[in-house]
Amino acid sequence: MSKSNPSVAKTTFDREPAGEAAAKLSPEHFDERGRTVPWMARTVRRLYDAQGQKILDRENLTVAYWYYLRVLAERGELNQLELSKRVGIASTTAVPALDNLEKRGLVQRVRDPKDRRKYYVSLKDEGRRLVNDMLPELVDMFSASLDGISPRDMRVFWKVAHQIENNLIRMSKDEAALD
């Protein structure tokens, strides 16, 4: 462990309290605690994942695996690359997840007869049952998280969220598939 540097300690004590510094930040870019939109989105995502995991634990399913099942339930059969893009996970990361889901009998992979390097992934009956059983409870959790928010405020939220999404897609110039 390094010895403390008195000038660093003095600088630390000379700083403004966090609340005062945050108050000087542009309210268009920072909230009252100095958090940005990406920071807040990450915080909300982590909180949703934690609450969702409590529900998914009953089926011994991780949130990460749930995303695969959910996309397949919505989109139907997809090739493995498209599925990993829609889940937002690198295709190399998808392989062990899909191996696990396949071993559990929730999904099946079938080689593309035209290109043996590609696989198509689809839900099996047990995977569909799991989604159908778990989704209503997850939706209830999402609904409860919106308590106290008016329908008008939700319309504004969706308008803003979609505009941010569109701006980021335009900026990325990437063909990322989003769900």
What is the per-residue pLDDT for 178? 61
- The predicted structure's pLDDT at residue 132: 96
pLDDT at 90: 85
Strands 107-112 and 115-123: antiparallel
* Average pLDDT rounded to a whole number, residues 89-105: 91
pLDDT: which is higher, 26 or 62: 62
- Mean residue pLDDT of the chain comes to 85
Q: Where are the domains of the chain?
A: 18-145, 148-179
Mean predicted confidence (pLDDT) in 10-37 = 65
- Tokens at 128, concatenated: 């569909």
pLDDT of residue 30: 85
Are residues 35 and 46 in contact, defined by beta-carbon separation less than 8 angstroms?
A: no
Query: Could you tell me the pLDDT band of residue 177, with boundaries at 50, 70 and 90?
Result: low
Q: Which of 141, 157, 137 is nearest to 149 (CA)?
A: 157
Alpha carbons within 13 A on the beta-carbon side of 133 = 11
Highest mean pLDDT out of 17-26, 96-105, 168-177: 96-105
Position 19 scores a pLDDT of 56
Summarize pLDDT for 115-135 with one digit per residue, the tens.
Answer: 878 889 999 999 999 999 999
Q: Give the mean pLDDT of 90-105.
A: 91
CATH of 18-145, one of 3.40.50.300, 3.40.190.290, 1.10.10.10, 1.10.357.10: 1.10.10.10
Higher-pLDDT residue of 4 and 34 is: 34
Determine the pLDDT at residue 112.
83
CA atoms of 146 and 151, how far apart (whole Å): 10
